[in-house]
């Protein structure tokens, strides 16, 4: 028997018992919709988590700390940085040393925390300028300003409190700008109590303004670590303070090539004795929670699909009772056993498939409705919604319902196949 004939015969048999077929299909529709919508809620939640995380910062970054509890040597020095770069899947390392300095231009001054960084890492970490350009080796004492950092400038001679002053200066166009570690520099009232020698300020210039950003970068000021070291050394000589030539960083961030590798890199670092923190730590926890919720939701959906599966089996068994004679005649007329099995399997799979297809359509509708109602109720604007049906879920939904149909149809099909032809035609 060829497949087309089998197909037509199966459709015909289902069509012959429209009401019952419809009711069975309805069961599958409800089951499929329940499971897809439930899973879509879980997925929507996970996606919302992810989006929230991404807003908070890059998921591929790992921050490394020195182990404060002592033990192994975990000083964040140049040697450590080099070793971090050699860890598998590490894309770049941004090491920073922070130093509090005074910057002055014209009549304005600002006290700012300066981050000394390795220039190579800037691009890899997504530093972007809206004006000017990123730092280059040749920029002696060059600075990169965070978009919001310029608010720190004030005119010390004004009576107005420095926080209330509104200063508008084009940092890129300043004729002369100086930087110094001398915290008294430019202040009108000089504290003369100390006998400390004052270092001379160093010429500097701003080469670029960083794109506005919600994270720390918007407020930061960046400079070549080598320039910074030189300034610190020179000034320390004047003031007679101690200067440690051995460079130790305050803040190290590692960029991993892929979110999935973050955990492995963190683990490697922990084994070496460092302490680490990454968004992924939090993400993993959130994901686990999301998984659990998804499983529970899918379980609830699965119950209804299971009931639908029983419905299919029941329908097919009933159908065998009604068609016993017909099956017997088919056998006597020379239908192969596999054809009878295939016929019943096909009918069951068709019930599952049609139910799955309609159920999928319904799921998209329900999902849309949930998102509209949900957005209204929760006041989420432009959010990606509570329910989310990715392509794989749609495909899995249909595939699963057909599979359920096949499984539910297997026992009846086997039974039909094994009916004795003689008993079947004797049945009146």
Partner 1 sequence: MSLIEVKDIKKVYRLGSEKVHALRGVSFNIEAGEVCVILGKSGSGKSTLLNMMAGLEKPTKGSVKIKGEAVTKMSEKRLAIFRQKNVGFIFQSYNLMGALTALENVAMPLTFRGIGSKRRNAAAKKMLENVGLGDRVKHKPNQMSGGQQQRVGIARALVGKAEVVFADEPTGNLDSKTSAEVMKLMVDICKHNNQALVIVTHDGSVGQYADKIVSILDGEVQNIVVKGEKKHEQA
Residue 29: both structure tokens together: 């529709």
The structure tokens 């910074």 sit at: 228
Please, what is the minimum distance in Å from the beta carbon of residue 359 to partner 1? 28
Count CB-CB contacts under 10 A for residue 173.
7
Q: Which C-beta is closer to partner 1: that of 271 or that of 333?
A: 333
Q: Which C-beta is closer to partner 1: that of 333 or that of 377?
A: 333
Please, what is the minimum distance in Å from the beta carbon of residue 334 to partner 1? 3
Residues 336-365 binding partner 1 (CB under 8 A) are 336-337, 339
The verdict on 19 binding partner 1 (CB under 8 A) reads no
Of 43-51, 180-188, 228-236, 414-422, the segment contacting partner 1 by CB under 8 A is 414-422
Per this entry, what is the length of the chain?
428
The verdict on 11 binding partner 1 (CB under 8 A) reads no
Q: Are 407 and 309 in contact (CB under 8 A)?
A: yes
Pick from 43, 330, 404, 416 the residue near partner 1 by CB under 8 A: 330
Positive or negative, the CA dihedral 186, 187, 192, 197 is negative
Q: How many residues bind partner 1 (CB under 8 A)?
A: 24
Q: Which C-beta is closer to partner 1: that of 181 or that of 324?
A: 324
Q: What is the CA radius of gyration of the chain?
A: 36
The verdict on 326 binding partner 1 (CB under 8 A) reads yes
Pick from 333, 379, 381, 382 the residue near partner 1 by CB under 8 A: 333
The verdict on 422 binding partner 1 (CB under 8 A) reads yes
In whole angstroms, give the CA distance from residue 317 to residue 302.
Answer: 22
Count CB-CB contacts under 10 A for residue 90.
18
> Which among 357, 428, 302, 355 is positioned nearest to 14, based on CA atoms?
355
Element at 411 (helix H, strand E): helix 391-418
Q: How far apart are the first and last CA of the chain?
A: 27
The verdict on 2 binding partner 1 (CB under 8 A) reads yes
Q: Are 157 and 169 in contact (CB under 8 A)?
A: no
Strand partners, 101: 112
In whole angstroms, give the CA distance from residue 14 to residue 18.
Answer: 6
Of 1-9, 110-118, 130-138, 344-352, the segment contacting partner 1 by CB under 8 A is 1-9
Of 44-52, 54-62, 212-220, 332-340, the segment contacting partner 1 by CB under 8 A is 332-340
The verdict on 414 binding partner 1 (CB under 8 A) reads no
The verdict on 58 binding partner 1 (CB under 8 A) reads no
Q: Which C-beta is closer to partner 1: that of 327 or that of 349?
A: 327
Interface contacts to partner 1, rule CB under 8 A: 1-2, 5, 9, 12-13, 16, 325-326, 329-337, 339, 420-422, 425, 428
């Amino acid at each position: 028997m060829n497949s087309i004939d089998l197909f037509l015969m199966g459709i015909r048999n289902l069509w012959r018992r429209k009401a019952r077929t419809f009711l069975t299909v309805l069961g599958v529709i409800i089951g499929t919709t329940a499971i897809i919508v439930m899973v879509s809620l879980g997925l929507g939640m996970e996606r919302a988590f992810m989006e929230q995380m991404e807003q908070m910062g890059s998921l591929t970054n790992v921050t490394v700390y020195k182990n404060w509890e002592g033990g192994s040597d975990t000083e964040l020095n140049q040697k450590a940085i080099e070793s971090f770069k050699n860890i598998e899947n590490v894309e770049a390392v941004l090491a920073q040393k922070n130093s509090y300095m005074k910057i002055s231009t014209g009549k304005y001054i600002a006290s700012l925390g300066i981050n000394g960084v390795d220039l190579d890492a800037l691009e890899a970490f997504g530093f972007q300028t809206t004006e000017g350009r990123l730092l280059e080796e040749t920029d002696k004492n060059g600075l990169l300003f965070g978009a919001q950092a310029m608010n720190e400038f004030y005119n010390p001679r004004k009576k107005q409190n420095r926080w209330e002053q509104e200063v508008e200066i084009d940092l890129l166009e300043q004729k002369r700008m100086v930087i110094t570690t001398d915290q008294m520099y430019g202040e009108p009232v000089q504290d003369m109590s100390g006998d400390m020698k004052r270092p001379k300020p160093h010429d500097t210039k701003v080469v670029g303004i960083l794109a506005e950003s919600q994270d720390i970068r918007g407020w930061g000021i960046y400079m070549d670590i080598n320039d910074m070291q030189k300034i610190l050394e020179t000034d320390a000589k004047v003031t007679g303070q101690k200067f440690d030539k051995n460079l130790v960083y305050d803040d190290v961030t590692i960029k991993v090539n892929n979110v999935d590798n973050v955990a492995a890199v963190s683990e490697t670092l922990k084994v070496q004795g460092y302490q680490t923190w990454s968004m992924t730590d939090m993400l993993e926890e959130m994901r686990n929670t999301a998984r659990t919720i998804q499983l529970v939701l899918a379980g609830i959906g699965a119950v209804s699909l299971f009931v639908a599966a029983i419905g299919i089996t029941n329908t097919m068994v009933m159908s065998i009772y009604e068609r016993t004679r017909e099956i017997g005649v088919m056998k006597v007329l020379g239908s192969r056993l596999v054809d009878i099995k295939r016929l019943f399997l096909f009918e069951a799979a068709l019930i599952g498939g049609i139910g799955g297809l309609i159920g999928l359509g319904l799921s998209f509708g329900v999902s849309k409705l949930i998102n509209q109602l949900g957005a209204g109720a929760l006041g989420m604007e432009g959010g990606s919604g509570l329910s989310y049906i990715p392509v794989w879920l749609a495909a899995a939904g249909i595939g699963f319902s057909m599979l359920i149909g096949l499984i539910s149809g297997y026992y009846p099909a086997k039974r039909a196949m094994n009916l004795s032809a003689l008993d079947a035609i004797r049945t009146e």
